[in-house]
């Protein structure tokens, strides 16, 4: 008899429920959106109840789609956006809307925190990375200083994963990989208590920690009724969306790397080492309790393709005879030679985290002439993201010592095979795409729960569960032009960064 795990991929725009069987195959999916609230510039909040309502509704939908009995569900687990803060009152209810990862209100607090530790470098050596206004420790301090009635009144704070786990099981806990986005000792597997105390945060407001592979509890009667499942169904610890996706990529052995291409993009590596984050690369906890996760994130990857689709392919998107504009764009890309006739695009549409941490930098088309067409601009966008990924990969290799000759690619971008070939050519690495790459986060966290259930002996065994769909080898004859343009790409940032700041400081002040 086939049995299943229900995994939720809880993003910023909505929740996707995925029904995963014990062989790692996706049997059903359902999506429910929810809004983001922007009460002030640079603030971003969500209603925690919206997350739960979306999770409950999509659970019922996938159960109906697959005609599965609730008795066939082995467990429920969540992979979620990280860095959310939900202040929980002593009555078990949120005291305010959640402050989500996108919120940047705490820049002043972040600066003061690092100053207390004699600057960003010292702080990064202690905490694993520098922090900014979007980071959890700074937002908690902001809450204490600006909403003391909320801070003093909260029994503890939860993140998105913790809140959904609480609504499912009735237990308030914080999972390791999610905790590492706030401040987590990779060696001791504990909160960075000294740092929290030193900056003035109350340790009693930090929940107990659990692992991704731990059964936290079981579905309460109320949760089971909401979801259409059986009371007593196991609930597992879950984890961060990026760390869950790392498992879903199948790159789970020591030093193996993957790329994710969604709206944003990242390069990730799992390791038994406990490195210190630097050079725009964070070192956080993996969902595998025995490993850390090196995480280098770029702000806009697939978002760049969406931009050019929206601005240059409007008529095609409106044409009912063109069901998939991105498939058409993939065809157009292949009509242009590698290097886009020496046109270069920088994919820094909303500033950048890695390979350069710069909020002022923006996108640029460099070396454009009257000979360039819409299709040249399109291919340059594909290639620009690949140049940025190559820079990130070189940092991981050169600064952290992890050679990455092979890369698994997940996310919606992995469905575009011309883009995969471009990434292989630009980076000079073999690229492998996995089956159902858009579901990698949910599949990965489901497989992690499977380890906890004893379905799989360990995380290493999951490599055989995740199926590779297609392989792309770098074409050596394309390497010379890409090496020239990649060198130019690197120089564009150093040449223009002051100008970007000068212009955007005035722009945002106005």
Confidence class for position 254, pLDDT limits 50, 70, 90? very high
Do residues 317 and 347 make contact, with C-beta atoms less than 8 angstroms apart? no
**Phi and psi at residue 150, in whole multiples of 5°?**
-75, -50
Given a cut of 90, whether residue 124 has pLDDT beyond it is no
Q: Quote the percentage of the chain above a pLDDT of 90.
A: 84
Q: Are 261 and 409 in contact (CB under 8 A)?
A: yes
Tell me if the domain spanning 4-237 has CATH number 3.90.870.10. no
CB atoms within 10 A of CB 49: 15
- Determine contact, residues 259/248, Cβ cutoff 8 Å: no
CATH no., domain 304-386+477-509? 3.30.420.40
**C-alpha radius of gyration, the chain, whole number:** 22
Q: Which two tokens stand for residue 163?
A: 């809140």
**Parallel/antiparallel/unpaired status of strands 364-366 and 282-285:** unpaired
Model confidence at 343, pLDDT cuts 50, 70, 90, reads: very high
C-alpha–C-alpha distance, residues 411 and 405, integer Å = 20
CB 110 within 8 Å of CB 138: yes
Q: What pLDDT is attached to residue 313?
A: 97
The mean per-residue pLDDT over the stretch 143-154 comes to 97
Confidence (pLDDT) at 279: 79
Structure tokens at 92: 């078990």
SS3 at position 349: strand
Q: Which residue has the higher pLDDT, 233 or 506?
A: 233
Q: In the numeric block, which tokens belong to residue 323?
A: 């069901």
How long is the chain?
510
Burial group, residue 323, by CB count within 10 angstroms (0-12, 13-18, 19+):
exposed
Q: Residue 6's CB: how many other CB atoms inside 10 A?
A: 27
Is 267 in a helix, a strand, or coil? Answer: strand
412: left (phi over 0), alpha (psi -120 to 50) or beta: alpha
Mean pLDDT of 378-388: 98
CA separation for the pair 287, 176 (Å, rounded)? 7
The CA angle 290-451-237, to the nearest 5 degrees, is 75
pLDDT value at 1 more than 80: no
CA distances 478 to 369, 391, 492, Å, are 22, 18, 21
**Any idea where the domains of the chain sit in the sequence?**
4-237, 304-386+477-509
Question: What letter does residue 278 receive in the DSSP assignment?
Answer: B
Q: Could you tell me which residues are beta bridge partners of residue 16? A: 9, 31
The two three-digit tokens of residue 66, written as one number: 């697959």
Cα–Cα distance, 383 to 343 (Å, whole number) = 10
Q: What six digits make up the tokens of 350?
A: 């909303």
Q: Which two tokens stand for residue 77?
A: 């687990």
**Confidence (pLDDT) at 128:** 67
- Record the pTM: 0.91
Indicate if 304-386+477-509 has the same CATH topology as 4-237.
yes
Instruction: For 398-415, give the DSSP string.
Output: HHH----SEEEEESGGGG
pLDDT classification of 507: cutoffs 50, 70, 90: confident
- pLDDT tens figures, 69-92: 999 999 999 999 999 999 999 999
> Taking a C-beta distance cutoff of 8 angstroms, is the pair 178, 80 a contact?
yes
> Residue 359: pLDDT band by 50, 70, 90 thresholds?
confident
Across the chain, mean pLDDT equals 94
Give yes or no for residue 421 having a pLDDT over 80.
yes
Beta pairing partners, 187: none
pLDDT digits (tens, 9 = 90+) for 22-34: 999 999 999 999 9
């Amino acid at each position: 008899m086939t049995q299943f795990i229900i995994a939720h991929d809880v993003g910023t725009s909505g929740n996707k429920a995925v029904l995963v069987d014990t062989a790692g195959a996706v049997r059903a999916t359902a999506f429910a959106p929810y809004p983001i609230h922007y009460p002030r510039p640079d603030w971003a909040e969500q209603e925690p109840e919206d997350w739960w309502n979306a999770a409950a509704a999509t659970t019922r939908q996938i159960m109906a789609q697959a005609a599965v009995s609730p008795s066939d569900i082995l467990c429920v687990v969540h992979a979620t956006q990280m860095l959310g803060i939900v202040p929980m009152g002593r009555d078990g209810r949120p005291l305010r809307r959640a402050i989500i990862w996108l919120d940047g209100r705490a820049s002043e607090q972040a600066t003061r925190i690092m100053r207390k530790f004699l600057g960003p470098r010292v702080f990064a050596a202690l905490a694993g990375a520098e922090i900014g206004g979007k980071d959890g420790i700074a937002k908690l301090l902001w809450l204490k200083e600006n909403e003391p009635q909320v801070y003093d009144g909260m029994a503890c704070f939860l993140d998105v994963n913790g809140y959904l786990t609480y609504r499912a099981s009735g237990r308030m806990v914080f999972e390791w990989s999610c905790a590492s986005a706030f401040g987590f000792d990779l060696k001791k597997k504990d909160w960075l208590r000294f740092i929290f105390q030193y900056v003035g945060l109350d340790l009693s407001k930090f929940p107990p920690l659990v692992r991704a592979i731990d059964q936290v509890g079981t579905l309460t009667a109320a949760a089971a009724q909401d979801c259409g499942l059986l009371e007593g169904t196991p609930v597992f610890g879950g984890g961060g969306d990026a760390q869950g996706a790392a498992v879903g990529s199948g790159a789970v052995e020591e030093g193996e790397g993957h790329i994710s291409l969604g709206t944003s993009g990242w390069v990730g590596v799992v390791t038994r080492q406990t490195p210190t984050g630097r050079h725009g690369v964070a070192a956080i906890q993996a969902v595998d309790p025995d490993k850390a996760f090196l995480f280098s994130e770029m702000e806009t990857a697939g978002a760049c393709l969406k931009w050019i689709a929206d601005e240059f392919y409007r008529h095609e998107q409106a044409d009912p005879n063109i069901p998939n504009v991105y498939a058409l764009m993939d065809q157009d890309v292949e009509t242009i030679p590698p290097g886009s006739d020496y046109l270069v695009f920088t994919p820094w549409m909303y500033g950048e985290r890695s390979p350069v941490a710069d909020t002022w930098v923006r996108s640029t088309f460099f070396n454009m002439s009257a000979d360039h067409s819409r299709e040249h601009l399109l291919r340059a966008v594909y290639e620009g993201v690949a140049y940025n990924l190559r820079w990130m990969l070189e940092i991981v290799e050169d600064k952290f010592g992890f050679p990455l000759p092979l890369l698994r690619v997940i996310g919606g971008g992995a469905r575009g095979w011309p883009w995969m070939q471009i990434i292989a050519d630009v980076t000079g690495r073999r690229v492998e795409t996995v089956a159902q790459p858009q579901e990698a986060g949910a599949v990965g966290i489901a497989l992690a729960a499977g380890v906890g259930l004893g379905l799989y002996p360990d995380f290493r065994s999951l490599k055989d569960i995740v199926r590779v769909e297609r392989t792309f080898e770098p074409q050596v004859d394309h390497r010379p032009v890409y090496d020239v343009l990649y060198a130019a790409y690197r120089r564009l940032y150093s040449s223009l960064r002051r100008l970007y700041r000068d212009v955007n400081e005035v722009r945002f002040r106005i």
